[in-house]
């Protein structure tokens, strides 16, 4: 690999005697990782159903695994069922450290393509709110697909500059992740094309952008809330120096120590941050810093007491393992009752008209529970279930508000791919459950017609939830002894 000389000189200065070991790591193959979807399975259950041989746990997460280079996990039905996300192992750390709790209001400010957002959303377990933003509309579309594939219902996917978000939200969020755009030095081994970009736009060009994004993030963080800043670069000007600037510029922010694990190191000047280097861990380069906004209107003694419990965000660190973040000082905020959803739904007339004119109610009767009418919204014939904390006064460029339930087409209601992925097999009465070994699974994912066995014909005319090993894949419609494939065309197996 032909690394720029200026970059090598800077790394020699940064690493000192570790330089040669670091340089030798670039002759090794990058590690591949997958992170399981904690809303659909557990690490223990995954070990029982894992179809891939040679997987090993990633030590600093509780749901990440390495897989051998020759495997292609994206070509397996479990990937289409949203059971896992393919992610570089070091990139699993930010969401693991920030670790929101069910009920939290969470912002992923630079979210595409969604690796970290899918984990943040899974940790919310359908409660609270996840706002995932990316300023690039095309990248935000990929972000939306990954969140819906993972079955995350309580989302708002937006594509706006951070300052516009700050104007709308104010001090609204309990947790904010800023996985900032950076020079990408830590990913040169994995993606050599980034080297040319680095030569054109080096660290000095990114640092001002990172500072501006962070300044808006601070505006949106609640007092007592936590902000995780991360990059995939080694440059001090983008890492420690940005944190120094933030602490000077915003005295209400304070650094929260992150306990180190085997292979992780602290800041280059002793800062209580985390650096990951490819010669010390089985992963690429990463930087993480956790900060808290000081609680408002508290006495100095009480603030110190709260800081001690709130800053104790990580439980004891076992050898080579980082445990989940637990913010004890925010327990009272985990189960929030939002006042954003009005008691009287402004879409009540449209909802009643849909119920009268379409077969929505017939489909809903097949669901385990009815949908909360207070949270339903109909726009352009699309039916949404809004998160509890959603505020209709927010003036943002949305790609998605909440869970898309489906589309109202005159007399017909067609449930969405997103609502299928957000369900469990037990959430819908009419299901076709296929074994992973059944070749009809791949045919279904390709959009082909599914032939039925005699003993499988047991439904009333209408919608059927197609599953693989009890994990939903999408919809089909049953009539006259046959199933019409309704798998979303844009997601089909190619």
Report the catalytic residues: 232
For residues 128 and 152, the answer to whether their CB atoms sit within 8 Å is no
SS3 474: strand
Phi, psi of 205 (to 5 degrees): -80, -30
User: What order of strands is seen across the sheet that includes strand 412-415?
Assistant: 376-379, 382-385, 403-409, 412-415
For residues 206 and 234, the answer to whether their CB atoms sit within 8 Å is no
Find, among 128, 152, 148, the residue nearest to 140 by Cα. Answer: 148
Find, among 415, 396, 329, 409, the residue nearest to 161 by Cα. Answer: 396
Exposed, middle or buried by CB within 10 Å (0-12, 13-18, 19+), for 75? exposed
Give CA–CA dist 439/468, Å, rounded.
Answer: 11
Give CA–CA dist 99/323, Å, rounded.
Answer: 10
Phi, psi of 390 (to 5 degrees): -65, 135
Instruction: Report the first-to-last Cα separation within the chain, whole angstroms.
Output: 33
The tokens for 88 are 């570089």
* Residue 268 CA, distance from chain mean position: 29
Give CA–CA dist 19/96, Å, rounded.
Answer: 28
Provide the β-strand partners of residue 293. 253
Give 428's DSSP letter.
B
Give CA–CA dist 204/25, Å, rounded.
Answer: 26
Phi, psi of 387 (to 5 degrees): -65, 150
* Residue 456 CA, distance from chain mean position: 36
Q: For Cα atoms 456, 459, 464, give the angle at the middle one, nearest 5 degrees.
A: 90
The conformational region for residue 103 under phi > 0 = left, psi -120 to 50 = alpha, else beta, is left
């Amino acid at each position: 690999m032909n690394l720029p000389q200026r970059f090598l000189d800077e790394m020699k200065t940064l690493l000192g005697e570790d330089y040669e070991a670091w340089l030798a790591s670039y002759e090794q193959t990058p590690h591949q990782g997958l992170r399981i979807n904690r809303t659909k399975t557990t690490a223990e259950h995954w070990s029982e159903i894992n179809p891939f041989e040679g997987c090993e746990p990633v030590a600093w997460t509780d749901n990440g695994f390495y897989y051998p280079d020759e495997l292609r996990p994206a070509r397996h039905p479990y990937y289409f069922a949203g059971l896992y996300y393919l992610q570089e192992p070091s990139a699993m750390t930010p969401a693991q450290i920030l670790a929101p709790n069910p009920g939290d209001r969470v912002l992923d400010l630079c979210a595409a393509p969604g690796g970290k957002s899918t984990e943040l959303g899974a940790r919310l377990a359908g409660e609270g709110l996840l706002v995932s933003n990316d300023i690039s509309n095309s990248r935000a579309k990929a972000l939306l697909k990954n969140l819906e594939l993972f079955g995350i219902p309580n989302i708002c996917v937006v594509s706006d500059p951070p300052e516009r978000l700050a104007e709308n939200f104010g001090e609204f969020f309990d947790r904010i992740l800023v996985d900032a755009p950076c020079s990408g030095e830590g990913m040169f081994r994995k993606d050599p094309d980034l080297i040319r970009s680095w030569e054109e736009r080096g660290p000095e060009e990114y640092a001002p952008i990172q500072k501006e994004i962070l300044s808006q993030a601070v505006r949106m963080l609640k007092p007592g809330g936590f902000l995780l800043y991360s990059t995939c670069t080694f440059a001090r000007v983008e890492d420690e120096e940005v944190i120094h600037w933030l602490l000077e510029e915003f005295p209400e922010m304070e650094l929260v120590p992150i306990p180190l694990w085997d292979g992780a190191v602290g800041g280059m000047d002793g800062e209580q941050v985390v650096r990951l280097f490819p010669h010390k861990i089985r992963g690429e380069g990463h930087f993480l810093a956790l900060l808290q906004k000081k609680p408002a209107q508290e006495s100095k003694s009480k603030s110190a007491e709260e800081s001690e419990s709130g800053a104790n965000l990580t439980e004891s660190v076992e050898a080579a393992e980082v445990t989940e973040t637990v913010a004890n000082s925010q327990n009272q905020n985990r189960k929030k009752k939002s006042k954003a959803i009005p008691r009287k739904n402004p879409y009540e007339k449209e909802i009643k008209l849909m119920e009268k004119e379409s077969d929505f109610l017939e489909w809903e009767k097949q669901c385990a529970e009815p949908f909360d009418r207070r949270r339903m919204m109909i726009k352009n014939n699309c039916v949404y279930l809004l998160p509890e904390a959603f505020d209709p006064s927010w003036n943002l460029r949305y790609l998605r508000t909440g869970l898309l339930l489906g589309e109202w087409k005159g007399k017909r209601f067609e449930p969405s791919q997103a609502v299928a992925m957000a369900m469990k097999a037990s959430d819908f009465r009419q299901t076709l459950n296929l074994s992973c070994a059944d070749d009809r699974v791949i045919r279904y994912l390709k959009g082909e017609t599914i032939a039925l066995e005699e003993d499988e014909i047991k439904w009333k005319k209408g919608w059927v939830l197609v599953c693989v090993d009890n994990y939903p894949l999408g919809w089909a419609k049953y009539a006259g002894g046959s199933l019409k494939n309704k798998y979303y065309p844009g997601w089909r197996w190619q």
